[in-house]
Structure 1
Amino acid sequence: MDTALKNGDFAKNSSGKIYSINAMEETLQRCKILLTVRQGSFVYNPQLGHRLHLLRTDDERLQGNALVLVQEALYSVPQVTVESVTAKVENNVIRLLVNISAYNQTEVLEVNINNEEL
């Protein structure tokens, strides 16, 4: 069991207290962190995160490359299976819909990559 996070800080309930989350919520939170943090940017664990910034909007292999990079980022979460990744380019931003399964449940995570900011 872990503590809920929101916007880089502890999430609080209506009473202003931090709260715990269940195994599935913890797994989703971990996946979101791994798909948000660029690999090498966290000094205490340089392996943490993703290399999604390597994706290019004009790459005809975008779907396949996105799948490989998402699988790589989530490899350290043994409970998770990446079922599929859908990549769409909108206004030079790559939008990924990541379909994962864990604990007999499926979830879709959305990730946006704007390589102009990197």
Structure 2
Amino acid sequence: MENLLRDGDYVPNGFGGFTRLYGTQEVLARALFRLTCRRGSFPFLPELGSRLQELGREKPSAREAAAKIFCASALRDMELEVDDVRLTQLPDGHARMEVWLTVQDEKQALEVRI
């Protein structure tokens, strides 16, 4: 059981508690957390997180392949599989990444802003 996070804050449920996630939604929330936090940012969990912030160092033609490798590395301890990654460059210099996953035999998608 996981609490829903939105913009770094827990989402209230209207009854004095927080919105809970279960099943596939819980797994996706954990995956999104691992993809958005930088690897090495937690001193006692140095392997937690991803290296997606390093994509800017890659040649533009190699970024999608590198993103897929970085995602698979960040999510390797979870019970899911990274099927595909699509990057879209945004006008503000950031990128939007769609990650297609197989979670409990279901195809799911996550969107991450880099």
**What are the superposed Cα offsets for residues 42-82 of structure 1, whole Å, 9 maximum, x if unpaired?**
223121100011112752111111111111111121x2111
* Alignment CA distance shift 1:9-1:107 (3 Å): same
Kindly provide the amino acid, as one letter, of the partner of residue 2 in structure 1: E
Farther-moved stretch of structure 1 (4-13 vs 82-91) = 4-13
Matched, 1:72 2:73: yes
* Distance in 2 between residues matched to 1:109 and 1:85, nearest whole Å: 10
Equivalent residues in 2 for 1:17-96, closer than 5 Å: 17-56=17-56, 58-77=59-78, 79-91=79-91, 92-96=93-97
Normalised to the residue count of structure 2, the TM-score between the two structures is 0.84
Distance 1:59 1:44, change over 3 A: same
Aligned partners of 1:6 and 1:93: how far apart in 2? Answer: 20
Question: Comparing 56-65 with 101-110, which one deviates more in the overlay?
Answer: 56-65
The AA in structure 2 aligned to 1:99 is W
RMSD across aligned C-alpha pairs, in angstroms? Answer: 1.8
Q: Helix, strand or coil for the counterpart of 2:49?
A: coil
Unaligned runs of 5+ residues in structure 1 are 114-118
TM-score, length basis structure 1: 0.82
- The answer for the alignment partner of 1:109 in structure 2 is 110
* Deviation of the 1:16 alpha carbon: 2.5
Question: How high is the sequence identity, in percent, across the aligned residues?
Answer: 29
Number of residue pairs matched?
A: 112
Moved more, 61-70 or 15-24: 15-24
Provide runs of 4+ in structure 1 moved above 6 Å.
Answer: none
Letter in 2 for 1:26: E
